[in-house]
Structure 1
Amino acid sequence: MQRTLKGPVGFVGTGLHSGRAVRMTVQPASAGYGIWFRRADLPGDALIAARWDQVVGTTLCTEIANGAGARVATIEHLMAALAGCGIQNALIEIDGPEVPILDGSSARFVQGFLKRGLREQQAEVMAIRVLEPVTVSQDGAKASLHPAEGLEIDFAIDFVDAAIGRQQKRLRMANGAFVRELADSRTFCRQADVERMQANGLARGGTMANAVVFDGDRVLSPGGLRHRDEPVRHKMLDALGDLALAGAPLLARYRGERAGHAMTNRLLRALFARPGAWELVTCGAGVAARLPGAGVGRADLAAVA
């Protein structure tokens, strides 16, 4: 069955790229509502659908906008938390242009949702079943979707920095796997990129407290890594958040090789441009048990505490 929150969950923080303070409240929503953002600081049409065809920017984050020009950026960690907790319906009210970065992962979003509690709704979950492979590639990056019985993410990265190097991980996303394995993995960057990003007006809110910074064979962030392979885990987190913009859970195997926000959005656009490559299905109990977030509850909080 579909799920929403038992009550509102509030977050206060700073935007990673804008550096602006922001308040955000994730509100429960009725069955079939989906995920929507509302810019509480803007007049007029301020509702934005959290959907692949509303994506207008993919430079170091995912940004969505509506036809009236209302925009919200860096939505991927929040979208991953919603998908990973199996929340299909929510209204996100936010008073600025960027979701707060918090600690750079999805952990605090997941904590807030599970502490508030989830409410089952009297409507079956619809899912998007991938029927045939779809692939996009550019400049050595590649992303693809393949038929599968549930959502699986297989990701590989390769960096010259020895502290990162080549990492690969494959994970079935059912039975709380996101909460246990990926939710606390933080965004990361190379020290060589920090000044370049800030010179381009990005990462103004970035600190060692909300990002892991690498320099060659060193991890500069205090406390080091949460996981030996935290970078690839975070890339998988990002992928789940970007795939959640499909508008319904995917029954597919996602494979990413050096892929990022732009590649994953291109992949969704390629999928929906081929009507024969997918179908919308009603999830019975067996299929629903294989979706991200199935079976997640307060007992899983220990994984992200």
Structure 2
Amino acid sequence: MRQRTIEKSVEIVGIGLHKGVPVKMRLEPLEADMGIVFYRVDAGVSIPLKIENVVDTQMATVIGKDGVVISTVEHILSAIYAYGIDNLRIVLDNDEVPVLDGSSSGYCMLIDEAGIKELEKSKKAIKIKKDVEITTEDGKKVALKPSNHIIYDFSIDFEHPVIGHQEFNFDYSIEEYKENISRARTFGFLHEVQYLRSKGLAQGASMENAIVLDHSKVLNPDGLRYDDEFVRHKILDAIGDMALLGYTLVGEYNAHKGSHHLNHLLTKKLYEDEANYEIIDLEEAQDEAEVFELAYSRVEA
């Protein structure tokens, strides 16, 4: 199995979630072994996708270098990671990725428009060898476990009548991602949006790009896309955060009340001990390659 990039450059204009200003984004092909690289054209700074370049995880996953940052990278990374793209340059003229409709479906359409190109070098993946877990005193947990499949299992609990307890198990394929994960939107509570705006944040947030709830109901006129859209979006976020590993994951991600911050701690903890993982070459590791080939062929056939 070979590394992947896109066939041609594509671009889109949208608004940033927090500043609410227009952002132009262009996706460009890269050669093998170049990885995923963000580029702030207005600042002339490249920011490779690496764990050490994560600078904030409070409201979103934010990467930065030399004082230049790019915020809310998780949704586009989720789509890129789900499509198995290894090499790509993401060019932006501002410090936020466009939020689009609050999901990753628009990024999937952009990648579909660009097309997938296989490169000459073999694809690598990271295979989990030992359980790695981050837990908190209030019962939150994120973990990576060995598996010959690619699985994301997430549960949430909110004291809200529309959300409550939700759980979802996602067995990876591009087709399943597009159908069951990519359309799930980010969500927030009306009182939180009002507070964030008072702090100069969430200026671009609206019911066009998020699910908004008051104390008892969803305020969006069109309602939900899935009854359990909230936990599906948490999986979307987790897939984007795991892209910081630098390789496609072979293993099981498991979380209860997970967050961007806990995901960041998890990726760091995984790499602290080389016994936790193995970097495998998918030209040589036939069993794992078959898992990816099946996942990719379902949508490409």
Unmatched segments (≥5 aa) in structure 2:
none
Distance 1:297 1:142 in 2: 32
Counterpart of 2:8 in structure 1 is: 7
The answer to whether the Cα contact below 8 Å between 1:75 and 1:99 also exists between their aligned partners in 2 is yes
**Identical pairs, percent:** 34
Query: In the TM superposition, what are the counterparts of 1:241-260 in structure 2 within 5 Å?
Result: 241-260=240-259
Matched, 1:93 2:91: yes
Counterpart of 2:296 in structure 1 is: 294
TM-score, normalising length: structure 2: 0.94
Counterpart of 1:42 in structure 2 is: 43
Distance 2:58 2:297 in 1: 34
Matched, 1:197 2:199: no
C-alpha displacement at 1:165, in angstroms?
A: 0.8
C-alpha displacement at 1:175, in angstroms?
A: 4.9
Counterpart of 2:20 in structure 1 is: 19
Match of 2:122 among 117, 124, 145: 124
Distance 1:133 1:217 in 2: 39
Query: In the TM superposition, what are the counterparts of 1:1-305 in structure 2 within 5 Å?
Result: 1-43=2-44, 46-66=45-65, 68-138=66-136, 139-284=138-283, 285-291=286-292, 294-295=296-297, 297=299
Counterpart of 1:303 in structure 2 is: none
Question: CA separation of 1:282/1:261 partners in 2, compared to 1, >3 Å: closer, same or farther?
Answer: same
Distance 2:239 2:209 in 1: 19
The answer to whether the Cα contact below 8 Å between 2:154 and 2:169 also exists between their aligned partners in 1 is yes
| Per-residue deviation, residues 252-279 of structure 1 (Å, max 9, x unmatched) | 1111111110000000001001111111
Question: CA separation of 1:175/1:12 partners in 2, compared to 1, >3 Å: closer, same or farther?
Answer: closer
Which segment is superposed worse, 166-175 or 181-190?
166-175
TM-score, normalising length: structure 1: 0.93
2:103 is aligned with what amino acid? S
C-alpha displacement at 1:126, in angstroms?
A: 0.6
Distance 1:294 1:12 in 2: 28
Unmatched segments (≥5 aa) in structure 1:
300-305
Distance 2:117 2:297 in 1: 12
Indicate the RMSD between aligned Cα atoms, in angstroms: 1.6
The answer to whether the Cα contact below 8 Å between 1:47 and 1:70 also exists between their aligned partners in 2 is no
C-alpha displacement at 1:199, in angstroms?
A: 2.1
2:216 is aligned with what amino acid? D
Distance 2:223 2:181 in 1: 17
Distance 1:6 1:62 in 2: 27
